[in-house]
Structure 1
Amino acid sequence: MQQREAYTAGSDLNALLGRGSEFEGKLAFEGKVRIDGTFTGEISTNDTLHIGEGAKVSAEISCGTVVVEGEVNGNIKATSAVELHRPAKVRGDITAPSLMVEKGVIFEGRSKMESLEASNVVTLRAAADED
């Protein structure tokens, strides 16, 4: 929990959609972004997205790491990790190599723990011995 508090209080954010703010559209960014307001649309990055407590996000999300404390309606794909912290509410499917769900979180959907690169894996079979 201490790590989450340090990140939340950190000043290394590139952008912030504050409480009371509303945005609709496509959000693509580099670095860390925090949403505390309302967002509808599509979010994509290789970096970190933090959805704060009280935030309401209706979007298809594709990020490196996603930390959720607010409400998300939509699918989440992460190349690194997804963390769901109380009092998060997530309605949608999650695909990530690492998924952490804190007690008290509401999650309605399916989870698939694999890296996005796993879909590109080719299975090789050993050739039969030619004696």
Structure 2
Amino acid sequence: MSNELMAAKLANKRNKSSAEQTIPTLIGKDCVIHGNINHAYAIRVEGTLMGDVVEAGSLIIGESGVINGNVKAKTVIIFGHINGDVSATDSIEIKNSGKVSGKLSTQILAVERGAVYDGKIVMGHVSMDSE
């Protein structure tokens, strides 16, 4: 096999794996999932997740979205409801329609007027491994 062909195959493999990592996950409004989500690039929840988000890049919970479980992600934006602990290595935003019950751990926290929060807040460095 020629070096050019090998290089082309390697480049194609790299492009495919990076493209697979950028496909977002959508949980639709009428969808109910029982179980955990592991290692997702980006997630938007408009339905219900009965389980944990173990690790994600970005997570958006839409106004109709509900998570009954714990969340670990890089960034979390909440328009809907989370019943569980939320840990974000970068930031957490609770929008005016958002409701959260549980512990928040993050470096940056933004809570809009009208948002509802009940729990404990821990500010500072957060890693995906921390509990």
- TM-score tier, shorter chain, comes to 0.7 to 0.9
Structure 2 counterpart of 1:55, from 55, 65, 68: 65
What's the CA shift string for 1:75-124, capped at 9, x where partnerless? Answer: 0011010000011010001000000000000000011111125xx9xxxx
Could you tell me which residue of structure 1 aligns to residue 32 of structure 2? 22
Q: Flag structure 2 segments of 5+ consecutive residues without an equivalent.
A: 1-21
User: Following the alignment from structure 1 to structure 2, what is the Cα–Cα distance between the partners of residues 13 and 115?
Assistant: 28
Q: Runs in 1 of length 4+ with deviation above 4 angstroms? A: none
RMSD of aligned residue pairs (Cα, Å): 1.9
User: Following the alignment from structure 2 to structure 1, what is the Cα–Cα distance between the partners of residues 23 and 45?
Assistant: 11
Give the TM-score, by structure 1 length: 0.77
Q: Is the 8 A contact 2:25 2:40 kept in 1?
A: no
The size of the alignment, in residue pairs, is 108
The reply on whether 1:32 has 2:42 as its aligned counterpart is yes
Structure 1 counterpart of 2:114, from 85, 101, 104: 104
- How far residue 73 of structure 1 moved from its aligned partner, in angstroms, is 0.2
Q: Is the 8 A contact 1:80 1:96 kept in 2?
A: yes
